[in-house]
Amino acid sequence: MFEHWPIVGRSREIDEVGRLLAATEGLRGVALSGKAGVGKSRLAREAVLAAADAGWTVRSTAATVTSRTIPLGAFATWTDDAEGAPHTSARRVVDALTAGTQPDRLLVFVDDAHLLDDLSALVLHQLVQLQAATVIVTIRTGERAPAAVTALWKDGPVERLEVDPLTHGQIDELLLAVTGCAPDQRCGDELWRLTRGNVLFLRQLVEQELRAGRMVSDDGVLRWQGNLGVSGSLAELVDAQIGAIPDDVRDVVDLVAVSEPVDWQCLRLLAEQDAIEEAEQRGLIRLSADEVYIGHPMFAEVRLDRCGSSRLRRLRGQVATAMKDGGRAAKVMTRGLLWLESDLPPEPDVLLSAATAASSLLDFETAERLFRAAADTGIGAQARIPLAYSLFMMEKGELALEVLEGVEVDEATESAFINDVVMRASNLMWGMRSPERSWRLIDDALKASHGARRQQLLVFRANQLALAAKPLEVLATMADVDYEDLDPYGATMAYSAESMAYGELGQPDQAAARAIDADEALTLSEQGKFLRQTLMEFHTFALVAGGRIAEAVDVAEWHLRAHHDEPPDVRAVASEILGMVMLAAGDLNAALRHLPHEVDAKNANSFHVVNSFHRFHLLRAQALARSGDADAAADALKTARAHQHPAYVYVTSTELLSEAWLAAVRSRSTEARQLARKAADFARDHDQLAREVWCLQTAVQFDDTDAAERLADLATRVEGPRVAVAARYAAALQADDAGELDRVSAEFEAMGDLLTGADAAGQAATSHRRAGRAGSAMTAAARAHRLAARCHGATSPAVEAASFAPPFTNREREIAVLAAQGLSNREIAEAVSLSVRTVESHIYRACSKAGVAGRTGLADVIGGAARTPRYGTTAR
């Protein structure tokens, strides 16, 4: 289909081969070694062509399985009919190869030199030893080669160079070069998984799938739709690499293919040691620690395609029977899947254990299959309740409720946190988006419950209260809970609710302590692994709200690294948490990189991604607004609201702050102040003291001069460095104390809150300028711009005003900016909540101070200030 596939990702090897061939002393060639299909021969041929272009005489040949049985078979072109001793015959071939050539300009290329017969290998060896030629040979890794060939690099002047498979990124680059399209994430990942950088497999696979119409170009992007079909040509290519193998070796390959990775001891029970060793020697399987994997993914694809369904079911049954009970969750899950897809009769305990293991690995699709299979054996609540949980975690609330219909609970399932009532309440609150019905269900259940069941229901109620922004009621409810009656999942949920409540109340130490307690409880819970994301969100929020930002960054970065190998939806939420923290730290680039753009299609059925998107996308809107991109911020705010969940009342102030920052970037400071105060009022009414501090601090950033008294009061009730600095900040702005604003800016910077540090410095510059201290104003303005640059181009009314020369009041500047934007006096009056006459007066005074006449002159003044370069601005 594509006649030319360029060489990609081989610059190091090409340079190295060129260096070796250009060597004038010592070296007489290079042996390119690597697995079949990695591109050794192509690389060698490119070097041969380059040598020919440079004036070298080139002799090329290739060894084959057939030629290996014929003396001098690879060099048949240079043999004669004369008889003689083997060494004499070899010498005549050397003479024929070198006839009419210069020793330092003859290049002999032998492809697949490991297949040379002994006499041909001797010819190659003599060419090198006699310095009659420079050689390039290719060798397949893992294959036995004649002693005369291996001696070339072991004892002789030929250097061996290993040719590795292409990397994932190099495969993407090659596909772009060949097809003109970059692969999308799924296409690139799947091609990498199947080919592992083998260019031969890649070419065959891509051309096959393009011909079949399963791989298509869509707006410059290469997409792979549907599943791989193993064509005859692809199977033949793989067969050629596997080669002819005995039946017992083939059985080893098939056993590993159906179950990889398979435990080494398990495989030894099913296959002969000699067959296992031969399969490994041929590269058909590989050992890693105590586990056995297939040698290449394509080997497994072809062998599974070749095996009939009956053989596959029998092989799976053999492996499942040989595997031991217990072990790591992944092995337990694998055993259950093998059992389910085998010729063995259903075994409830095996299926239930495997389903539970799958749930602990957050593989809820597999858990659903296995729990359904277990339920089909006659198991009741033990399988149906966790089945409902798996469906719930995949956003299949209605199906979960159907599964719970008529379920009869026993004592064990009744006292567990994941019980029939909690699952129904969870589905009502999240799946059906009806928190009121969920609350009523728990109310009714609490009236008739006692013992351990009542404790679990109280914990669920505490979590309802936490989401409803009622932290004091959370703690009051938890005071009635006996942790001794809670299972590990219930204990985790209990500590989680308390951690959130303490964070909202402005007690970060208590919040962190409860998060640690929850994490310890989680180690004993098989199904609560995903709760680590919730815990980390509450923990890091408590830290950043309290002003312990550097600590929060360390914790969030560690958390993301620790979840590198977890499922994509888990990594997505861990990344969002880091984005939240980086916004608090003022790193806008990192915040925008980690905060979600949209709900990824592959995570659209993930409970924690779907239900976290709203609150994290609100923060993305804030980050965009602080970056100066009003349109993108408005779009993000609109998108976030479209995903709003009625149960998540506690983030109401976050939404109001996002709206406030959008107003600010549109130069509507009065509206921004009003929204920030509205957010603070909501937080105060709901005892969210930490959020109230943050909201009031934000109002001060918008030049609110009425927050000092309340912040001073909060400083006696809220822990952490933020509240004390915020209280001094508000007092300094109220008193127009430029020196104190300078000091507060430095303290915010030391705290790690660079954005607020920049705003405080900008306000200090404006205050110095009003007092006639031009030098101090310039110093403060420079500081504001430096901090904004460290935030990667942050902007705000305070930062923009830092270098604004006319001695306007804050109100005059706001109105002047709106006038410069073309708003009428009536529109300005509505925006800033003043009368039209008052607006006219402000415009008149602003014109007088600026020494201009009318709106046009004022617009020129404002426009000139706006054209002042914004330090550190970066394109997004």
- What angle is formed at CA 471 by the lines to CA 755 and CA 446, rounded to 5 degrees? 150
Name the pTM for this structure.
0.73
Measured CA to CA, the distance from residue 328 to residue 322 in angstroms comes to 16
Out of 3.20.20.80, 3.40.50.300, 3.40.50.970, 3.30.420.40, the CATH code matching 10-162 is 3.40.50.300
Q: Residue 258: name the closest of 246, 245, 271, 244 by CA.
A: 271
Residue (of 813, 770, 789) closest to 667 by Cα position: 813
Give the position of tokens 């040691």. 273
Which pLDDT score is estimated for 567? 84
Counting every residue written for the chain, the total comes to 876
For the chain, the domains span 10-162, 168-229, 810-866
135, β-bridge pairs: 29, 108
Contact 374, 349 (CB under 8 A): no
Please state the three-class secondary structure of 617-662 as a single string: HHHHHHHHHHCCCHHHHHHHHHHHHHCCCCCCHHHHHHHHHHHHHH
Measured CA to CA, the distance from residue 348 to residue 331 in angstroms comes to 17
Residue 140 tokens read as 């397949």
In one letter, which amino acid is 875? A
Dump pLDDT digits (tens) for 151-197. Answer: 999 887 898 999 999 999 999 999 998 888 888 888 888 888 888 88
Residue 634 burial by CB count (10 A; 0-12/13-18/19+): exposed, middle or buried? middle
- In whole angstroms, how far apart are CA 622 and each of 283, 631, 828? 54, 12, 24
Q: What per-residue confidence (pLDDT) applies to 874? A: 35
CA 408 to chain centre: 41
- Domain 810-866 belongs in CATH node 2.10.109.10: no
- Reading the block at residue 77, the tokens are 């072109």
pLDDT of residue 606: 74
The HSE-up count of residue 142 (CA atoms within 13 Å, CB side) is 16
Q: Please, are residues 325 and 304 in contact by the beta-carbon 8 Å criterion?
A: no
Give the 3-state secondary structure of 213-266: CCEEEECCEEEECCCCCCCHHHHHHHHHHHCCCCHHHHHHHHHHHHHCCEEHHH
Residue 414 confidence (pLDDT): 67
Residue-wise pLDDT for 454-474, tens only, equals: 999 999 999 999 999 999 999
Report how far residue 108's alpha carbon sits from residue 58's, in angstroms, rounded to the nearest whole number: 6
Rounded CA separation 125/130 (Å) = 9
Write down the residue that tokens 């050539």 correspond to: 101
Compute the distance between CA of residue 47 and CA of residue 44 in angstroms, rounded to an integer. Answer: 5
Q: At what angle do helices 689-701 and 652-665 cross, to 10 degrees?
A: 10
**Ranges under pLDDT 70 in the chain:** 1-3, 24, 81-84, 228-233, 410-415, 600-604, 608, 805-807, 850-851, 860-876
In this structure, what token pair is assigned to residue 759? 């705003």
User: Using CA atoms, how far apart are residues 335 and 574, in angstroms rounded to an integer?
Assistant: 30
